[in-house]
Chain A
């Protein structure tokens, strides 16, 4: 396990905190006085998915979490778990549904995703910045319907519904930010 200092902190870095692995989700500097500088972080637990906040002394040494990232193909899910397969060794890994969270609205069978691995076990999914999904159901956008702000609701191939601009038609592929659930752009 390597030791890093707060100067290496940024979003996505995995650290050990109170003997458990966390991912940094936010990081800011704080400078309260007398020359001391601090690094305020938001950490997401890779075990419970809960967020904690902690302010480190700048320069403080932390253990990096022994996390690796493997690319895996999503196979299917049942009520408890989501199942992935590593294309390298064809081994199956599972993640509890709770660790997938809202990403369940955007996860697509057969797609490759980045999975955090610790001690040879899958602990979390690292959501991509963008997902590309097909629109399976869209009504025709009616002109002059500006009450909804020139957007309409469509259904994606995952069954999830989002707001998109009026010009998006059934069968088109759209890019979405999975963190916010917002439409980003038309994709090919």
Chain B
């Protein structure tokens, strides 16, 4: 691999992280650091956790059965919400997250990756949508609308920008980002599409009539998908999404905010007041890269506790690591905090986007696959 390209990519990576800090400092956010080694990590069943133990000495023996299990966090969310309950407003964090998921040679995953999360109090997910538009545009403007040529990565080199400015509308500065031969216009407002809209337009499905397992099975069978007795609703939903909806979204020429998820996929988001079948959650896709996951944060402690308990049950069913959920987190929700919007963004993927990198391995100095031996595929 070309050494100059490599150096330019990593220089850009650091610039992006610095710009993120500049942006949030300007917005008056406080940068926080919360534990990565915890006793009760996020329970979400789609992330397996790394487990370790903290040594507790008793009777002068080092290997005590009193050792307490510890885990590396897949996300700093729970602790950041504890800060919100303590009265902190508008916080952000850039840190490492750990997810022990087998992803084969996935060009989008690394066991250890850099995550950023921000929480805006007295706000909801629509405010986070605007934050996202502003942040990405701020990064783009700082990197490419200045005249420092050395900072432009090879893929977006002067050729493309000159072409872009020749064809631009006099009133609207064209903000074109090239990623893997896709040209994306970053100008806000970005495309805001509900799951209901995209399922209707791309899969011909009325999501309201798909929320029931029986209905979903019938619709999937009619479409020619294979359904077994133990096929779950989530499997059917995702298989249709991956085959029929996501490929279409990946072809759109503007960033896409995919919002209002069916309640079973709410994760830690609030359900919609006027329609409990859906939740105030959105995901951000740019040029086919899934960059972020955002919520109007769930503040009802009883509903949250029930979801955590359901997660543990699901983890047991899937034979994953099981641990008691974070009771301190639930206590924080009992104390409460104002309505808040929050988001998690994959920094490595953001860097991939701005450096036109095909794989996450190109933007991480020592990818996990180099450190740990991987198998086939």
User: Could you list which residues of chain A lie within 8 angstroms of chain B, going by C-beta atoms?
Assistant: 10, 18, 27-36, 38, 40, 53-57, 60-61
Which A residue's beta carbon lies closest to that of B315? A35
B224 touches A34 (CB 8 A): no
Known: A34-B264, A61-B228. 15 other contacts (CB 8 A): A29-B106, A31-B46, A33-B265, A33-B267, A34-B234, A34-B238, A34-B314, A35-B45, A35-B234, A35-B314, A35-B320, A54-B243, A55-B242, A57-B239, A61-B226
Alpha-carbon gap, A30 to B231, bound state (A): 17
**B337-350 vs A, Cβ < 8 Å mask (1 yes, 0 no):** 00000000000000
Contact segment of B50-58, B96-104, B202-210: B96-104
A32 touches B238 (CB 8 A): yes
Q: State the Cβ distance, A160 to closest chain B Cβ, in Å.
A: 28
* Interface residue B370 (Cβ < 8 Å from any Cβ of A): no
Contact of A33 among B238, B247, B320 (CB under 8 A): B238
User: Which of A32, A38, A53 has its CB near the most chain B CB atoms (within 10 A)?
Assistant: A32
A30 touches B377 (CB 8 A): no
Which A residue's beta carbon lies closest to that of B99? A31
Which B residue's beta carbon lies closest to that of A59? B228
A36 touches B105 (CB 8 A): no
Which B residue's beta carbon lies closest to that of A53? B247
* Interface residue B371 (Cβ < 8 Å from any Cβ of A): no
* Interface residue B235 (Cβ < 8 Å from any Cβ of A): yes
Alpha-carbon gap, A40 to B376, bound state (A): 15
Task: Please name all residues of chain B whose beta carbon is closer than 8 Å to the beta carbon of A30 when the two chains form the complex.
Answer: 106, 242
Total contacts A-B at CB 8 Å: 62
User: Taking chain B's interface residues, is the majority helix, strand, or loop, or is none over half, making it mixed?
Assistant: loop
Task: Please name all residues of chain A whose beta carbon is closer than 8 Å to the beta carbon of B172 when the two chains form the complex.
Answer: none
Task: Please name all residues of chain A whose beta carbon is closer than 8 Å to the beta carbon of B318 when the two chains form the complex.
Answer: 35
User: Could you list which residues of chain B lie within 8 angstroms of chain A, going by C-beta atoms?
Assistant: 45-46, 101-106, 224, 226, 228, 231-232, 234-235, 238-239, 241-243, 247, 264-265, 267, 314, 318, 320, 376-377
Alpha-carbon gap, A55 to B103, bound state (A): 15
B232 touches A36 (CB 8 A): yes
Contact of B103 among A27, A29, A54, A60 (CB under 8 A): A29
Contact of B231 among A38, A54, A57 (CB under 8 A): A57
Task: Please name all residues of chain B whose beta carbon is closer than 8 Å to the beta carbon of A57 when the two chains form the complex.
Answer: 226, 231, 235, 239
A33 touches B377 (CB 8 A): no
Alpha-carbon gap, A55 to B226, bound state (A): 12
Q: List 12 A-B contacts (CB under 8 A).
A: A29-B377, A31-B46, A32-B242, A33-B238, A34-B46, A34-B314, A36-B234, A38-B238, A38-B242, A57-B239, A60-B226, A61-B226
Task: Please name all residues of chain B whose beta carbon is closer than 8 Å to the beta carbon of A40 when the two chains form the complex.
Answer: 242
B265 touches A10 (CB 8 A): no
Task: Please name all residues of chain B whose beta carbon is closer than 8 Å to the beta carbon of A53 when the two chains form the complex.
Answer: 247
A31 touches B101 (CB 8 A): yes
Which B residue's beta carbon lies closest to that of A18? B224
Given contacts A55-B242, A57-B235, contact A34 B103 (CB under 8 A): no
Which A residue's beta carbon lies closest to that of B234? A34
B224 touches A55 (CB 8 A): no
Q: State the Cβ distance, B113 to closest chain A Cβ, in Å.
A: 14
Alpha-carbon gap, A57 to B230, bound state (A): 12
Alpha-carbon gap, A53 to B228, bound state (A): 22
User: Which of A28, A31, A53 has its CB near the most chain B CB atoms (within 10 A)?
Assistant: A31
Alpha-carbon gap, A40 to B101, bound state (A): 16
Task: Please name all residues of chain B whose beta carbon is closer than 8 Å to the beta carbon of A18 when the two chains form the complex.
Answer: 224
Contact of B46 among A35, A54, A55, A56 (CB under 8 A): A35
Which B residue's beta carbon lies closest to that of A60? B226
Task: Please name all residues of chain A whose beta carbon is closer than 8 Å to the beta carbon of B231 when the two chains form the complex.
Answer: 57
Task: Please name all residues of chain B whose beta carbon is closer than 8 Å to the beta carbon of A10 when the two chains form the complex.
Answer: 376-377
Given contacts A38-B238, A54-B243, A55-B239, contact A33 B105 (CB under 8 A): no
Given contacts A18-B224, A34-B265, contact A55 B243 (CB under 8 A): yes
B242 touches A28 (CB 8 A): no
Alpha-carbon gap, A56 to B354, bound state (A): 31
Task: Please name all residues of chain A whose beta carbon is closer than 8 Å to the beta carbon of B234 when the two chains form the complex.
Answer: 33-36
Which B residue's beta carbon lies closest to that of A30? B242
Which A residue's beta carbon lies closest to that of B239? A57
Alpha-carbon gap, A139 to B46, bound state (A): 60
Alpha-carbon gap, A146 to B235, bound state (A): 55
Q: State the Cβ distance, B5 to closest chain A Cβ, in Å.
A: 17
Q: State the Cβ distance, B83 to closest chain A Cβ, in Å.
A: 26
User: Which of A28, A30, A31, A35 has its CB near the most chain B CB atoms (within 10 A)?
Assistant: A35
B235 touches A36 (CB 8 A): yes
Alpha-carbon gap, A54 to B225, bound state (A): 11
Alpha-carbon gap, A61 to B226, bound state (A): 8
Which A residue's beta carbon lies closest to that of B290? A32
Q: State the Cβ distance, A156 to closest chain B Cβ, in Å.
A: 30
Q: State the Cβ distance, B276 to closest chain A Cβ, in Å.
A: 19
Alpha-carbon gap, A28 to B359, bound state (A): 13
Task: Please name all residues of chain B whose beta carbon is closer than 8 Å to the beta carbon of A32 when the two chains form the complex.
Answer: 46, 238, 241-242
Alpha-carbon gap, A125 to B337, bound state (A): 65
Alpha-carbon gap, A27 to B103, bound state (A): 11
